[in-house]
Amino acid sequence: MFIYFALYCLFSLLPIGPYMFDSPTAAAAALAGSLAGVMDVLSPEFIKDKTGQTGRLNVFIVLDTSGSITATDFNSSRKATIDLIRKLATYEVQIRYHVLSFATEVIDIVDILNIYTRDNENRVISTLEDFDPKCHGPKTGTNLFAALSKVNEKIAFLKISEKKHFNETQNVIIIQTDGYSNIGNKSSLALKMIRSTLGYNYTAIDHTHERLLDVYVFGVGSKVKKEELNSLASKKRGEEHLFILENYSNLGKVFNQIISDKTVTICGLAQEDVPDDSSFYTHPWHVTFAGVRTKQKCSGSIISQNWVLTAAHCFGRKGSDQVPHKIEIKYGNKLYGESSVMSKQVIMHPKYNVEGLKQRNVKEFYDYDVALVEVDTPIPLSWKARPICLPCTVPANRAMKKVNSTCEQHRNELILLNRTSVSFIQKTSQGLKRKETHIHIGNQRRACVEKARNTISDAEVTLEEYVPERFFCSGGTINKKDSITRKGDSGGSLFLEKRKRFFQVGVVSWGTHGSDDVSSKFPPSDARDFHINVFKMMSWLKKYLGNDIQFLSDVN
C-alpha cells in the first residue's frame, strides 16, 4: 500500500507536458466509475427504511473566476456545471447544492443554507446562469484556500444544525481551476480542516475509508500546478479523483458522458443496516418457484427486469426438455408484500444432461446445471425487487468502480483467495436467511471435491469428470462453521459482497448431504455443496442476455 501511494505521489509531481492531458472519454469513464458508485449506494432502494428516508448528498462546486479565466472559459465552465447538475438530477437522491466562485475573494452563487434554492435543480441552474463573474471586480487573484474554507464553514454549520442526518449525508466537492493558488494560505490546509470537521484523520494518505467525503479536482490547461491539485483530490483505492484536461470545452465533454446512462441497471443493492427482528429486503434479487421435474420448491435470482437465473434440474433432465406450462415466480416478502410474475420461456443449457454419465454407472450428473427464465412482464424494480450484479458486465463494472476491466479481472477481484467467503439464501422457520460458507479453489479445491467420491462408489469415472472445473466446491472449511444447502435452495445465488454491492458468482446445484433432515446449523464434517461457476457460463449467458445487459467486450 505504501508503494502504491508513493508512486501515485511521485507521478503527480511530474510537469504537465503537451501530451499528458486526460482525454474526455477516459476521464468520464473514471469519474463515472467513482461518482456513480457514490450515487448508486444513496438510491432509495439501497437505504430506504420504515420512515421512507432517501439518500442525502451535499454537492459543493468550486468555480475558478480568477484573472486568467476568460469570459469564454467561464461560460464553458458554467455550461459544463449545468450539464453535471442535470445529470445528477436523474438519480433518486436528495441533493443539495452549494456553488461558489472564487478569485481573491469568494462569492456564494448558490448557498446550501438557502432552503429556497439549494435543492431545486431549476433554481440552482437559473441562479448560476444569472451570475456575472465581473462581480469580483479588480480582485482577480487565485485564493483556493478561501474557497475551500468557505466549504468547511458550510459543512461545520450543517454539522451543528442537522445532527440527526449529518452522519448519513455524503459530501462531494468538485473543484474546477486553470492554475494554482497565488494568494492566501495553502489550499491543502483548508482540506485538512474539512476532514477534521467530518471526523477524519487529515494526515492520512489513503482516503478509502472516508465514506462521507469525495473530492474531485479538474485542472484545466497547461499551467496547472499538479502537485497542489493532487494534494486536494481524494485518494481512494481503485478510483480516480484528479483529472487534467486541455481546455474547458473538454470539461463539458466529460460531464456530458457520465452518470445518466439509463440503459445501465443499478445492480447488487440491498438493505443492510436493519434490526435483527425485521424482514427488510436484504436479498431483493431472490425468487422462488415450484420446480417442474420434482415439484419441489426451487430458487433463483433476478439478473434483469426480464430474466431470472436458476438451475436447469428444476425443469428437466436434459437441456432439450420442454417446459410444458408457465411457471409462477415469486419475489418480495410475505410480510411487506409478495408479488409474482409468470414465465415466458425457460432456456436450459444445451449441454445439461442428468443421464450424461449413466453408461458409466453415474445415476445423476449435474454439469451445466444452469437455466434462464424469461418473464412475461418486466419485474418492477424497487427496494423489494432488484437485480444482483452479474460479473463480466458493465453494471458490475460500475459497481466495482472499475474502468475498462476484463472478465478475468472481475474474477480476480471477487475470488481473491484459495478460500473465499460466500453466501446463499435458505428458507428457515424464521423466513429466508443468509447462510455463510466458503468456496475452495486452487490448491484447496481437490480436498473439497474429494468428499464427492462417496456418491459415486460404483462409477467408472474419475473425480475430475464427475466434478469438473465448472463447479465451485463449498463446505468443510477448517476452523469455520460452513452452512450447507437444503432442498429448495437449488437454483439460488451463491454470492458475495464487495464495496457494499452484491455479486453472484455461482448457482446452487447439488450437495452430498442435501436434505431437509440434515442440520444446516451443525452439518456433518464431510458435507459438501457444488455450485455452477457463472464465470464459466458467460458466453452462454451473453447469447440470451446481451440485449438486456451489456457485457464486457472480452466476453465472446
Provide the pairing of β-strand 56-64 with 94-102: parallel
The yes-or-no answer on residue 490 being catalytic is yes
Report residue 39: phi and psi, to 5°.
Answer: -70, -40
Question: Do the Cβ atoms of 528 and 514 come closer than 8 Å?
Answer: no
Sheet bearing 94-102, strands edge to edge: 106-110, 94-102, 56-64, 169-177, 213-220, 242-245
Catalytic residue among 64, 369, 482, 529: 369
Helix ranges restricted to H, 294-419: 394-399, 407-414
Quote the cell numbers at residue 524. 456433518
What percent of the residues of the chain are helix, what percent strand, and what percent coil, each to the nearest 5?
A: 30, 25, 45
CA distance 114 to 400: 36
Tell me how far the alpha carbon of residue 161 is from its chain's centroid.
32
The yes-or-no answer on residue 132 being catalytic is no
CA distance 537 to 429: 33
Quote the cell numbers at residue 236. 481512494
CA distance 54 to 41: 11
- Give the closest residue to 259 by CA, choosing from 52, 44, 42, 75: 42
Catalytic residue among 490, 493, 509, 520: 490
**What residues does 488 pair with on adjacent strands?**
none
CA distance 552 to 556: 9
Report residue 436: phi and psi, to 5°.
Answer: -100, 145
- Report which residue type is found at 225: K
Local structure of residue 418 (DSSP, 8 states): S
CA distance 76 to 354: 64
Catalytic residue among 207, 313, 410, 438: 313
285 conformational bin, left if phi > 0, alpha if psi -120 to 50, beta if neither: alpha
The yes-or-no answer on residue 526 being catalytic is no
Question: Do the Cβ atoms of 57 and 170 come closer than 8 Å?
Answer: yes
Provide the pairing of β-strand 371-375 with 529-533: unpaired
Quote the cell numbers at residue 143. 485564493
Q: What torsion, rounded to 10 degrees, do the Cα atoms 309, 315, 318, 322 define? A: -110
Please identify every residue annotated as catalytic: 313, 369, 490
